[in-house]
Chain A
Amino acid sequence: MQSATVENPLRAGLDAERMPPPCAVVIFGASGDLTRRKLMPALYNLALEGLLPAGFTVVGFARRAMAPSEFRAQIRDAINQFSRRRPVDPGTWEAFEQGITYVQGTFQDVADYARLDQELRRIDRERGTRGNRIFYLATPPTQYETIIDNLGRAGLNVPAEPGSWTRLIIEKPFGRDYQSAVALNDHLLRIFAEEQIFRIDHYLGKETVQNVLAFRFANGIFEPIWNRNYIDHVQITVAESLGLEGRGDYYDQAGALRDMVQNHMLQLLCVTAMEPPIAFEADAVRDEKVKVLRAIRQIDPKRVNEMTVRGQYGPGWVGGQPVPGYREEPNVAPNSVTETYVALKLFIDNWRWAGVPFYLRTGKRMPRRVTEIAIQFKHVPHPLFRGPAAASMEPNVLAIRIQPDEGISLKIAAKVPGPLIRLRSVNMGFLYGTSFMVESPDAYERLLLDCMLGDSTLFTRRDETEAAWRPITAILKGWAEAPPPRFPNYEAGTWGPREADEFIARDGRAWRQP
């Protein structure tokens, strides 16, 4: 692995124990939404913390004509609007903007890549970036293959100098189904090597997701009970209160299963279910995740309705405001059958999890935004307390809250004070916000820095993306063959369609109220 820091004796004890070597990041789609909302604010926050190497440079690449100064002004506005720390600190900005430049071009024209190459060589000379570069594909997915091909044609896919590196970051969605993901991987791997490719799933960059691993593997008391002997089932919820936020074009083609489940939710499933890796290293961690994904029981497309529920929201109220239904959103077909809600039941066929259902649900326009993993334990084997004493007693639940109010709580039974034995469930909790004095960095900060350092632990590997598409593709197939659903079937501002409640109730269980 590339790390410039090993032999630098002056690094000992510094906050930035790992400092990437000087490099340039080329953002394809630099005038787009992702760049403004996430990428540039993340890079700026890294600069603010002194985590970027000297000479660090950003090259924006997009279609519209713009002078570099105009691009810089746009970025400054974006940081003022979206950075977790704002407004822009003039001192940091002054140094940071010296490393921002812009190349106007179209993805289709190979001559534009030759100009980009020249610009990168100039930067190597003038800013000491030594041929180290990252290409970030912040573009519509339809453009990925064109850009990759042209990078290859222009010779930008191979290191520019001996000892330097070239890396590629690719955004979600990665394919539309198993076949297209394999095809995209094949295409990518004709031009780049797997070690060069960093497939982003920003959920993995979240502190709280990484904390699931710390929680499981740095505490001795949970692992012994983390299995089918003690756990009844697992619920993973990703609820959004937002609707489409102007991304109707994309969403109507994708739907909740592709947009949320295939990537983020299966990653949450992996960190919950995986075996302890032999080391916290890229391949060791990813090997274990792939094993979980491979162990997911294939869903028979003919029985898809037994294992899944889809929903689409109609008009309703969210947060005290009336909101339109999905089909009324801009750029959505008026008879669209795209799902905005999905609930599914998965089984992981391995020794640890045999017979334990994992219920996943995600939806747009839910009553509130919340992401959590809830581990529901079994009832006590012998009920000592019965009757009214135990009327409101529930099995233990360990809830890992990813957002908001990040933290972990354990529901336990306790005696209500008084002369009688009456039991009630109470929560024992740990909250991030009340336990540390520092703010968590944004996921993109962590991931961009890791990529510069060449650490791919928090990125998805080829086999991982493909393994994640398999069960999803079976569901898509089943849905395509089933009669079209009667949409809309839930009101905006509710927890999803009634069928979803019936779905889990059939197993004698209920959704948590997160």
Chain B
Amino acid sequence: MGEVDITRDVHGFPGPNVDVEAIERELANLWKAPELGSLTQAEVVPVRTSVLNLVVVASGHAGAARIARTVSWLSVHHPSRLIVFVPDWSATDPTRDLDAQVSTHCSAAPEAHVAPCFERVIITVPPGALDLIVSVIPSLVLPDLPTFLWWPEPPPLGEPNLVRLARAVDRLVVDSRGFTRAAASLVRLHELCRQLGDDCALSDLNWACLAPWRALTAQAFDVAEHRWVLDAVTRLTVQYGYTRGAADSPAQALLFVGWVTSRLGWEVVAAERANRGPWRVTARRPDGAHVAIELHRIPAPPAFNGALLSGVLQARDGRRSGEFRAERVDDLETIRVTVGIDGVPPVSYAMRSRGADDGSLLMQELRSVDRDGVYEEALTAARRCVAALGKDERARL
């Protein structure tokens, strides 16, 4: 197996500006680097991948460390070009000319004759310099490839430059797990999504966390005899984790509720939330009947703060009744589903699901550039659950 990693510093303009031409020059030089010779000696040809551009904007040092971890993981899946913006006050130093660091990483699988290579550009920028970032991205991305923008920490929702930045890429990936005022931020995220329209697809790693829940829930209703339950739900109860001292983080639970609500064609008609109490939502089914929805937060270890812990659907149709229950059990790393429906043998199955790491969640979101209609509808319904609260209740969120 052949592997090389080549890194060069780029010295450009002194001060906060970024010398894009110098970066491009250094990137081109990487391909002439003598280190690549070790591959050719092994009869392996280094080939630039043509998959996608990934732009990452870190907001602080903690973020930069998290990105570094994810990025080294991503290198196995080799995006073509990775451009990371790291905020650093030193970038404003008028004498400093170190603009960026560029590198390429190539590795060949055993037996293969080509080594896919991807390039990484790390650019230090003054904190908050969104306009600078907006101006640099178009000249550094590889043409004809989709461009993704990952914003690992809470992005400045509501800032006009964020919209400009998003319009420069094909898909913006945020992570609402980290949002501090989660419910209120979901409303603003929805607003951003509306503003972007077809200009940029929006996605959320918190939504990606729901993938196993969605798959396990859907699976129960592949069985024809269970299907009627979906048309006759009277109650949906969800629980999410809360760690004392941490921020209340109902976004994932709200997205789950939003997903069920939008898939089943319900309409949110009212919502209330007493101080720190359960969140109660009333929805109307397509047949006009009401569904009572409740979100409860329950104590959980820090790794599960804000994580969905259970979702229960109860249904009644004439004299039949049924219950679908999905819940994290044992060490919370297994999701177990039990379905009990009158007249049908009970069904139970489980899936191991650790809290997924950033890398694999991000991978899921990098697979498509298109808008995710199912997510957007879930987000819209989740927003309704927040918007339907009284003014005072919203202010307390």
A interface vs B, CB < 8 Å? Answer: 4-5, 7-16, 19, 21-22, 50, 53-55, 89-92, 94-95, 125, 128, 404-405, 429, 431, 433-438
Stretch at the interface among B46-54, B244-252, B271-279: B46-54
A-B contacts at CB below 8 angstroms, number: 113
The interface residues of chain A lying within 8 Å CB-to-CB of B217 are: 10
B interface vs A, CB < 8 Å? Answer: 47-52, 77-79, 109, 111-114, 116, 211-212, 214-224, 227, 230, 260, 263-265, 333-334, 337, 345, 347, 349-354, 363, 366-367, 372-375
A433→B333 contact, CB < 8 A: no
A91→B334 contact, CB < 8 A: yes
Give the distance to chain B from A133, nearest Cβ to Cβ, in Å.
Answer: 16
A128→B223 contact, CB < 8 A: yes
Give the distance to chain B from A438, nearest Cβ to Cβ, in Å.
Answer: 7
B112→A405 contact, CB < 8 A: yes
Minimum-distance CB pairs A-B, first 9: A91-B352, A13-B374, A10-B218, A434-B49, A54-B349, A437-B77, A434-B116, A4-B222, A9-B263
Cα distance, A435 to B77, chains bound together (Å): 10
Cα distance, A419 to B47, chains bound together (Å): 29
The interface residues of chain A lying within 8 Å CB-to-CB of B265 are: 9
Give the distance to chain A from B114, nearest Cβ to Cβ, in Å.
Answer: 6
A434→B218 contact, CB < 8 A: no
Cα distance, A491 to B346, chains bound together (Å): 63
The interface residues of chain B lying within 8 Å CB-to-CB of A436 are: 51
Cα distance, A35 to B84, chains bound together (Å): 46
Cα distance, A13 to B218, chains bound together (Å): 11
Cα distance, A437 to B82, chains bound together (Å): 14
Cα distance, A94 to B333, chains bound together (Å): 13
Cα distance, A90 to B352, chains bound together (Å): 8
A10→B351 contact, CB < 8 A: no
Give the distance to chain B from A344, nearest Cβ to Cβ, in Å.
Answer: 28
The interface residues of chain B lying within 8 Å CB-to-CB of A14 are: 211, 214-215, 218
Q: How would you classify the secondary structure of chain B's contact residues: helix, strand, loop or mixed? A: mixed
A21→B51 contact, CB < 8 A: no
B78→A437 contact, CB < 8 A: yes
A22→B223 contact, CB < 8 A: yes
Tell me which of A4, A10, A22, A429 contacts B214 (CB under 8 A): A10
23 A/B residue pairs, CB under 8 Å, sorted by A: A7-B227, A9-B264, A10-B217, A10-B263, A12-B374, A14-B211, A21-B223, A22-B223, A53-B222, A54-B219, A89-B352, A91-B354, A94-B350, A95-B350, A404-B113, A405-B114, A431-B114, A433-B109, A434-B50, A434-B78, A437-B51, A438-B77, A438-B367
B263→A434 contact, CB < 8 A: no
| CB-based nearest B residue for A124 | B345
Known contacts A8-B227, A54-B220, A434-B114; can you find 14 more A-B pairs with CB under 8 A? A9-B230, A12-B263, A12-B374, A13-B374, A19-B222, A53-B219, A55-B349, A95-B351, A128-B347, A405-B112, A434-B78, A435-B51, A437-B366, A438-B367
The interface residues of chain B lying within 8 Å CB-to-CB of A438 are: 77, 363, 367
Cα distance, A431 to B49, chains bound together (Å): 8
| CB-based nearest A residue for B337 | A54
The interface residues of chain B lying within 8 Å CB-to-CB of A9 are: 230, 263-265
The interface residues of chain B lying within 8 Å CB-to-CB of A433 are: 109, 112, 114, 116
Cα distance, A463 to B20, chains bound together (Å): 63
| CB-based nearest B residue for A18 | B222
B352→A10 contact, CB < 8 A: no
Which of A5, A95, A434 has most B Cβ within 10 Å? A434
Give the distance to chain A from B271, nearest Cβ to Cβ, in Å.
Answer: 23
Tell me which of A8, A22, A53, A435 contacts B49 (CB under 8 A): A435
Cα distance, A12 to B78, chains bound together (Å): 29
Give the distance to chain A from B287, nearest Cβ to Cβ, in Å.
Answer: 14
Give the distance to chain B from A14, nearest Cβ to Cβ, in Å.
Answer: 6
Cα distance, A363 to B76, chains bound together (Å): 34
